Amino acid sequence: MRTVDALNEAAARIGGETPRLDAEVLLAHHLGCSRGDLLLNPDCKFDPQDYEKLVERRANGEPVAHITGTREFWSVTLKVSPAVLIPRPDTETLVEVALKLCAHPPARILDLGTGSGALLLACLSEWPNATGLGVDASLAALAVAQENAQSTGLAGRANFQLGDWGEGLNERFDLILSNPPYIAETEELSEEVRTFEPASALFAGGKGLDDYRRIVPQLPGLLNLGGLAVLEIGHKQGPALMAMAADHGFTASLHPDLAGRDRCVALNVPPLKPAA
């Protein structure tokens, strides 16, 4: 079978929003090459039966990242598994905002709910003198994060530990990042997300705010003066998070993703006022 015919048939079977892209990524994975290499060599030989097995999994709703076992995020390639939330391009907004708003390169970075380690490792790749800590309540997720730190060459600057958000941490950080669960329990999700991704990384009570109510009060005791916290939010949660930030003494700002929807809130520790 010609490659172009196989891709056309696979895309037709996969359906959804990005069928052709999914078909190409899966074939590149089967061949052990990049998608770019595949497109530059469209007549490469492949095993139709093995490729069909991958297409069947995708047609049944399994995420491409689970089939290939990896996901690109920022400038790094990460291992993913059903134990962690698949890193989304929208979450890269947090890294962009951190790079923009940090007045000085952070020395210590904290990633609360680190999952695959995506946010921490992306920031460590940008600030070569920084070290960081990733905290998660899942041992399985921490194992994935540690493996990603090793594969990206960042293990010497990244530590990971089991924890309940910032509970019990006794040091302060220059930058805190978090993509906590923020989906309301009644909100409708695609079958793919609801079936294949960990519910503990998705849902946060009736309005999706339960975990923010725990995280935000912890931040004053975790941030250095002049420090910055960047939290991912649902696109309708901006007003609630801005009010929560103000209640705990922060100045805060909302930042949109590439689609123009509110994606994260940045919280700054106000500098000390000079004595009168």
Low-confidence ranges of the chain (pLDDT < 50): 274-276
Look at residues 21, 46, 42 and name the one whose alpha carbon lies nearest to residue 31.
Answer: 46
What pLDDT score was predicted for residue 272? 54
What pLDDT score was predicted for residue 276? 45
Q: In angstroms, rounded to a whole number, what is the distance separating the alpha carbons of residues 25 and 231?
A: 30
Query: What is the DSSP pairing of strand 262-268 with strand 223-232?
Result: antiparallel
SS3 sequence of the chain? CCHHHHHHHHHHHHCCCCHHHHHHHHHHHHHCCCHHHHHHCCCCCCCHHHHHHHHHHHHCCCCHHHHHCEEEECCEEEECCCCCCCCCHHHHHHHHHHHHHCCCCCCEEEEECCCCCHHHHHHHHHCCCCEEEEEECCHHHHHHHHHHHHHCCCCCCEEEEECCCCCCCCCCEEEEEECCCCECCCCCCCHHHHHHCCHHHCECCCCCCHHHHHHHHHHHHCEEEEEEEEEECCCCCHHHHHHHHHHCCCEEEEEECCCCCEEEEEEECCCCCCCC
Quote the Cα angle for 52-58-63, to 5°: 145
Q: How many residues does the chain have?
A: 276
What pLDDT score was predicted for residue 270? 65
CA 185 distance to own-chain centroid: 20
Placement of tokens 């210590």 in the chain: 108
Q: Domains of the chain, with CATH numbers?
A: 3-60 (1.10.8), 81-268 (3.40.50.150)
pTM of the model: 0.90
CA dihedral 88, 116, 134, 265 (to 10 degrees): 10
